[in-house]
Structure 1
Amino acid sequence: MQKKVLILFLVGILFCTFTITGCGQLGADNEKTSNAEEITIADEQVPLANTSVKVLEPSASGETVYKGTNVAVDASNTSQGYVMVKYSGKNQKIKIQITKSSGTTYTYNLNARNAYEVFPLTEGNGSYTLKVFENLSGTKYSQAFSKDINVKLKNQYLPFLYPNQYVNFTANSTTVKKGIEVTKSTTDDLKKVELIYNYTVDALTYDTAKAASVQSGYLPDVDAVLASKKGICFDYASVMATMLRSQNIPCKLVVGYTGNVYHAWINVYTPESGWIDGMIFFDGQKWQLMDPTFASSGKKSESIMKYIGNASNYTAKYAY
């Protein structure tokens, strides 16, 4: 099959209005108290993401479990690219931090109680440190648990095939079924990418009211987004990532910046193209520039297409 040009698959909207306070990692700007056991963690920002195919779903099999006070970490499936964490205490605000040695720190809210939540290991093979923090007050947290975990993936794509907090689905999700319906005419991965892109552009509109009111800690509900037919860029990226992952097409939900604005988009992998990491748009004959949210909300205007065609306008920070 002819080698395609590597391309970045972008999803999002430019006109976000959120203040940047540091997404998911501790920094010099974060307030600290004099108590050495207390630590300050900024809330996550909201980024403005064939019926025979087996949908991968995570499980806490119990083969490898690390326990602390009120905390259980099931690391049975690190080779599949994820860990699962359960908190059974009474604290209402729990943070999870996952850091690969010398890598980026990813911070998540742990929302469930007495039930496992899945967290991806997105930075490849190596040693990761997982920490659990309990809230003291405001943005002050105390470390409740820490564990170093060695990860050797069965393949590099697995973290981007399973669901997680940001791309949350099951085999029975309406969005998964819609992805099957949209792509039923082909078994070719690039054609599926095209069909899912076109469907998303046509089906969804940008939700300006939601963008103005959405709160820190927001996570997309892909089925609700699909039912309402509108969303912010985080929703666009999550819907598309759900459809692609459930078709066994590796897909990264990427969070970063467009200019100074927090933003979300996706990267896609196909065997013939590798990771698609340049901006593209399918015009019916060839892949050129692409940003489905811009294309949908901006109606493919010349100015919008020119903006998304400039890679320097985008800076990736996290991949989920």
Structure 2
Amino acid sequence: MKKRYFSIIFILVFLFAFTGQAIGASLYTISVLDNNLVKVESLKEDKSMRIMVEKESEKYYYSLNKTVEIIPLQLGKGTYTIKILQNTSGDKYKVVQKQDINVTNNNLSEVYLASTQPVYWDDKEKVIELAQSLTKGKNTDMEKIESIYKYIVNNIKYDYNKIKGLSNDYVPEIDKVLDDKSGICYDYAALFAGMLRSLGIPTKLVKGYKSDLKEYHAWNQVLLDGNWVVIDTTYDAALKKDNVKISMIKDAIEYNNVREY
């Protein structure tokens, strides 16, 4: 009996030394920030992992590319279930950790100002500085929005080759989009959202469908004078290239929102 006991102890010590993790201890720490965001911290990077945020019938999936990921709680007050998923094969995943959180005082304006996946902006100095430079002397939100909009539409080109080799865990790096002066619709929308959020203007990145496009698309909704207005920088950049007259604010009926970040 004593021999078996020491064997078990040896195995536990060996596993701890090998993995750096006590048996039964969690690899991921899930915490809530100001009732608006979830922080997921991990001991190591592992791109086979995903984060799923579930509330009632809604499910959102996020990449787990960094040791700290900030995820928006954009589905309002109530109980959220956060699941850490591990890829087993192909598109199949298993739940390795689960935690319920109760959100009692959710502020959506704050959610859409935060630096969260997929709109990480607070450590992008070039992006922040450009947004400030473009809006210097502008007094109203409309003036600031128009300045950022014009810059992106006039300077960012659509990259038709990028989408071909894109992984399903892709998250825009808006400073790289700015440096490359090119991207796909996801990049356009993330850059626009990041620049406006850095100026204190609540902005959503929206995914879904536009009535005259077959492909899955991304655009923005911006809080202007108390109303969410639709702005599509990717679409307008293409129209401008063809010298078509454009209007910055779109008719919302032309857009079908599937996901909002």
TM range (shorter): 0.7 to 0.9
**1:92 and 1:228 mapped to 2: Cα distance?**
25
CA, structure 1 residues 219+91, in 2 after alignment: closer, same or farther (shift >3 Å)? closer
**1:302 and 1:309 mapped to 2: Cα distance?**
18
- Give the unaligned 5+ runs of structure 2: 1-23
Q: Residue 261 in 1 paired to residue 215 in 2? A: yes
Q: Residue 69 in 1 paired to residue 10 in 2? A: no
For the aligned residues, what is the CA RMSD? 2.5
Q: Residue 216 in 1 paired to residue 157 in 2? A: no
Q: Residue 145 in 1 paired to residue 97 in 2? A: yes
1:75-126 Cα distance to aligned partner (Å, 9 max, x none): 2x142x11111233686511111112x24100112112xx321111011111
Alignment of 1:188-267 (within 5 A): 188-259=140-211, 260-267=214-221
Is the 8 Å Cα contact of residues 206 and 232 (structure 1) preserved in structure 2? Answer: yes
Query: SS of the counterpart of 2:189?
Result: helix
Structure 1 length-normalised TM: 0.67
**1:244 and 1:251 mapped to 2: Cα distance?**
7
**1:155 and 1:91 mapped to 2: Cα distance?**
31
**1:68 and 1:315 mapped to 2: Cα distance?**
43
Amino acid at match of 1:174: K
Structure whose residues are more often strand by fraction: 2
Amino acid at match of 2:81: T
- Aligned positions, number: 235
- The Cα shift of 1:214 comes to 2.5
Alignment of 1:98-113 (within 5 A): 98-100=53-55, 102-112=56-66
**1:191 and 1:275 mapped to 2: Cα distance?**
16
Alignment of 1:1-320 (within 5 A): 69-75=26-32, 77-79=33-35, 81-88=36-43, 92-100=47-55, 102-112=56-66, 115-153=67-105, 155-259=107-211, 260-270=214-224, 273-277=225-229, 279=230, 291-299=232-240, 311-320=252-261
- Give the unaligned 5+ runs of structure 1: 1-66, 280-289
Structure 2 length-normalised TM: 0.81
- Is the radius of gyration larger for structure 1 or structure 2? 2
Q: Higher relative contact order at CA 8 Å, sep ≥6: structure 1 or structure 2?
A: 1
**Share of identical aligned residues, percent?**
34
- The Cα shift of 1:310 comes to 5.8
**1:177 and 1:91 mapped to 2: Cα distance?**
32
- The Cα shift of 1:176 comes to 1.1
**2:92 and 2:160 mapped to 1: Cα distance?**
32
